[in-house]
C-alpha cells in the first residue's frame, strides 16, 4: 500500500478520533469504578505501619490509628480516645478517662488494659526518650476499666501535645501482634480499615463500628505515584481526587499555579512550618559578628522570594514560628530588604572594598549548603540569595548535595549558611526549640540551627521548665534573644498546598502536615 495524501489524512483523523474516544472512555471507567471512593496520591508506598516504628507515611497511619487526644487548630487539645484528662502534682501525674464503647477494627475492646498494653510498648524506652513523656516516665496504674493514671519523675513539658503525635503514641489492637509481641497487622480504632497494601496502592474500607463521625464514603485508596508531574497529570485526568501534603505527595507552588490555571481546585493553607536560614559562626569567623548576620538577613528580599518563587502562596517570615502555632510569641513583620543598610553594616563591621568585600586581606566568601531533595526549592532560593549577597559585596558559594549528604554535612557543621525547616504542628514550638536550638539535646538527624550554651541554653531551659502562665513570657525571652542577636534568619512560612478534583467537596487543609485530611470531605455524585 502506498501512502498518499488521502490515506495519510484518513489515518491521522482515525488515530486522533481513537485517542479522544479512549480518553473519554477511560474517564468514564475511572469515575464508575470510583463512586464512593476517595483516591489520594502518595509519593511512595505506605511502608511498615507499626505505630512504634519510624518508616510509614504518617498520614496513612493517621487513617487507622488514633491517639488519646487530638491536636486541633491553633494547638487546641481535643478529646479522642480519652474523654477527659487532669494534670496534677505539678505536672508529674496524669489522670486519664478513657472513651467507652470503642472497639478496635478486629472487635477487641479498647479499655484500660488495652491502653496500658499500648503505652508500655513505648513509654520509658530509650528509643523514645526524645519524647519527654517517655523520658520521664515512672509508672502506670490502672484505676478501673476506663481510668488510668500515669506518673512521671519530672514535670512533662507539652505532655498533651506529645500524646497527640502520630508515632509512637497511637493505639494498636493487642490482638493484632504476633506471638512474640511484634507488630503484624495494622489494626487500630480509627475510621478506616486497611484491606490491601502493596507497592502500587493501599486501600481502606470504612470501619462501620467506628465510635465517632463516620466518613460519608466507603472506600479510600492511596495510589503510589512517585513522579510529581505524573501526580499532577493523574489529578487532571480524573485518575485521582486529591493530591498534596508535605509528607504525602507534595505539590510545588509552580504546580499549584499551573493547576489553578487549568481550573483545578487548589487549597493553600498558610502552614505552620518555617524555612529558616542558619548561620554557622564556628566555621565562618565572619558570622561571629552579629552585624554581618544582620546585614545578610536584611540583604535578603523575602517578599520577592515569596512572590516569585512561591507565587505568593508563602508569607515572608519575621519569626521562628507563625501565629498558627501556640506560644509562637510576639509576631514581627518580616525584614524588608535594604541593601544600603546592609552595606553600611558590613562597612561598620570592617568588611570593605569591592566587588567582594574583604577584611585583613581575607575576602568575605561564605559557603551555603543546599539540598533540593531535603528542602524543596532550596537551590533556587539559594541562587536568589547568592545574587542578592553579591550586590552587597558577599561572595556566596552554593554547594548542592544529595539528601543523605545534607544530613551528614549539617550534623558535622560543614556549612557556613544552611537551610532548616522547623518541625511544625504538633511538635512546635518546643520540638524545634529543644531539638534545633538546645546545645545539650542530642539531635542526630537535622543538626543544630543555632546553639549558645552560655546565653541561649538557660533561656530554653527556663522556658521548658515553666508551667501555666509562665510559659509565654519565658519562651518570649528565647524568641527575643534569637531576634536581638540575629542568630537566625527566618525566610518564609512554607505553605501547605493541596489540590482536589470537583468530586471532592468540603475539603479543609489538615491541622498538621502529619494528618490525612479526609474528615470533612463529601464525594459528589457525577
Partner 1 sequence: MKNLKPLFARLNKIPRAALITIGLFVALGTFAPWLAPQDPSAQNLLEAGSGPSAAHWLGTDHLGRDTLSRLLIAANTSLVSVGSVLGIAMTIGIAMGTIAGYHRGWVDDVLMRVVDVGLSIPSLIIALAVIGIVGPGYWTMVLALALAWWPMSGRISRAVAVSIMSKPHIEALRVLGASPWRIYFNHLLPGTIGAVMVYATADAGVAALAVATLSFLGLGIQPPTPEWGQMLVDALPYLESDPRQVLLPGLALTAAVIGFNTLGESIALNRIPKPLTRRTLAARRIEVAGWGKESLDAK
Would you tell me which residues interact with partner 1 (CB under 8 A)? 229, 252, 254-255, 257-258, 261, 301, 304, 307-308, 372, 379-380, 382-384, 386-387, 390, 397-402
Q: Which is nearer to partner 1, 10 or 408 (CB)?
A: 408
CB 414, min distance to partner 1, A = 9
Grid look-up 506471638 returns 179
- Among residues 52 and 258, whose Cβ is nearest to partner 1? 258
Q: Tell me the closest approach of the beta carbon of residue 362 to partner 1, in angstroms.
A: 21
Determine the distance from the C-alpha atom of residue 274 to the mean position of all C-alpha atoms in its chain, rounded to a whole number. 10
CA distance 28 to 346: 64
CB of 231 to partner 1, least distance (A): 13
Beta bridge partners of 147: 97, 144
Q: Which is nearer to partner 1, 145 or 391 (CB)?
A: 391
Please, what is the minimum distance in Å from the beta carbon of residue 352 to partner 1? 23
Tell me how far CA of residue 126 lies from CA of 53, 183, 469, in angstroms. 13, 19, 31
CA–CA gap between residue 330 and residue 476 (Å, rounded) = 7
Q: How many other CB atoms sit within 10 Å of the CB of residue 347? A: 15
Rounded to the nearest whole angstrom, what is the least distance from the CB of residue 160 to partner 1 in the complex?
40
Please say which residue, 240 or 434, places its beta carbon nearer to partner 1. 240
Smallest gap from residue 374 Cβ to partner 1 (A):
12
Cα(9)–Cα(11) distance, rounded to whole angstroms? Answer: 5
**Rounded CA separation 201/37 (Å):** 13
Nearer Cβ to partner 1 (335/426): 335
State how far the Cα of 522 lies from the Cα of 487, in Å rounded to an integer.
Answer: 46
- Please tell me the distance from the alpha carbon of residue 511 to that of residue 424, in angstroms, as a whole number: 10
In the chain, helix, strand, coil percent, each to 5? 35, 25, 45
Q: Which is nearer to partner 1, 296 or 436 (CB)?
A: 296
CB of 460 to partner 1, least distance (A): 34
CA 444/CA 316 separation, integer angstroms: 29
Q: How far is the CB of 312 from partner 1 (least distance, A)?
A: 12
Interatomic CA distance for residues 98 and 100, integer angstroms: 6
Are 334 and 318 within 8 A, CB to CB?
yes
CB closer to partner 1 out of 252 and 290: 252
341 vs 398, which CB is nearer to partner 1?
398
CA distance 335 to 469: 30
Amino acid at each position: 500500500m502506498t501512502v498518499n495524501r488521502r490515506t495519510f489524512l484518513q489515518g491521522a483523523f482515525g488515530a486522533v478520533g481513537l485517542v479522544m474516544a479512549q480518553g473519554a472512555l477511560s474517564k468514564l471507567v475511572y469515575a464508575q469504578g470510583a463512586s464512593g471512593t476517595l483516591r489520594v496520591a502518595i509519593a511512595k508506598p505506605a511502608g511498615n505501619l507499626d505505630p512504634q516504628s519510624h518508616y510509614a507515611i504518617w498520614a496513612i497511619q493517621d487513617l487507622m490509628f488514633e491517639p488519646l487526644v487530638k491536636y486541633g487548630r491553633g494547638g487546641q487539645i481535643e478529646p479522642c480516645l480519652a474523654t477527659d484528662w487532669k494534670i496534677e502534682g505539678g505536672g508529674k501525674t496524669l489522670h486519664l478517662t478513657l472513651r467507652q464503647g470503642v472497639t478496635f477494627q478486629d472487635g477487641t475492646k479498647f479499655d484500660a488494659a488495652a491502653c496500658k498494653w499500648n503505652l508500655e510498648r513505648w513509654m520509658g524506652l530509650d528509643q523514645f526518650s526524645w519524647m519527654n513523656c517517655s523520658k520521664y516516665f515512672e509508672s502506670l496504674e490502672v484505676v478501673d476499666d476506663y481510668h488510668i493514671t500515669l506518673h512521671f519523675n519530672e514535670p512533662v513539658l507539652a505532655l498533651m501535645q506529645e500524646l497527640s503525635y502520630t508515632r509512637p503514641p497511637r493505639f494498636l489492637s493487642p490482638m493484632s501482634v504476633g506471638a512474640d509481641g511484634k507488630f503484624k497487622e495494622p489494626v487500630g480504632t480509627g475510621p478506616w480499615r486497611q484491606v490491601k497494601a502493596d507497592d502500587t496502592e493501599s486501600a481502606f474500607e470504612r470501619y462501620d463500628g467506628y465510635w465517632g463521625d463516620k466518613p460519608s464514603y466507603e472506600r479510600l485508596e492511596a495510589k503510589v505515584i512517585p513522579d510529581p508531574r505524573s501526580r499532577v497529570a493523574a489529578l487532571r485526568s480524573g485518575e485521582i481526587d486529591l493530591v498534596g501534603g508535605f509528607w504525602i505527595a507534595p505539590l510545588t507552588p509552580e504546580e499549584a499555579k499551573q493547576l489553578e490555571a487549568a481550573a483545578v481546585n487548589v487549597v493553600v493553607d498558610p502552614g505552620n512550618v518555617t524555612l529558616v536560614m542558619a548561620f554557622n559562626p564556628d566555621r565562618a569567623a565572619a558570622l561571629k559578628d552579629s552585624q554581618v548576620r544582620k546585614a545578610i538577613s536584611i540583604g535578603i528580599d523575602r517578599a520577592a522570594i515569596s512572590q516569585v518563587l512561591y507565587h505568593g502562596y508563602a508569607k515572608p517570615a519575621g519569626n521562628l514560628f507563625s501565629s498558627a502555632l501556640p506560644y509562637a510569641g510576639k509576631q514581627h513583620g518580616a525584614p524588608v530588604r535594604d541593601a544600603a543598610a546592609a552595606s553600611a553594616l558590613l562597612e561598620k563591621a570592617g568588611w570593605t572594598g569591592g566587588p567582594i568585600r574583604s577584611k585583613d586581606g581575607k575576602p568575605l566568601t561564605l559557603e551555603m549548603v543546599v539540598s533540593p531533595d531535603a528542602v524543596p526549592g532550596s537551590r533556587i532560593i539559594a541562587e536568589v540569595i547568592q545574587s542578592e549577597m553579591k550586590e552587597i559585596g558577599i561572595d556566596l558559594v552554593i554547594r548542592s548535595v544529595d539528601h543523605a549528604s545534607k544530613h551528614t554535612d549539617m550534623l558535622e557543621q560543614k556549612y557556613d549558611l544552611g537551610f532548616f525547616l522547623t518541625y511544625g504542628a504538633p511538635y512546635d514550638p518546643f520540638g524545634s526549640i529543644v531539638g534545633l536550638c538546645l546545645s545539650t539535646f542530642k539531635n542526630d538527624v537535622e543538626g543544630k540551627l543555632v546553639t549558645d550554651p552560655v546565653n541561649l541554653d538557660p533561656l530554653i531551659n527556663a522556658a521548658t521548665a515553666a508551667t501555666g502562665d509562665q510559659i509565654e513570657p519565658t519562651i518570649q525571652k528565647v524568641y527575643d534573644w534569637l531576634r536581638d542577636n540575629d542568630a537566625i534568619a527566618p525566610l518564609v512560612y512554607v505553605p501547605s498546598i493541596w489540590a482536589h478534583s470537583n468530586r471532592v467537596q468540603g475539603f479543609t487543609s489538615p491541622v498538621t502536615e502529619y494528618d490525612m485530611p479526609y474528615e470533612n470531605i463529601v464525594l459528589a455524585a457525577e
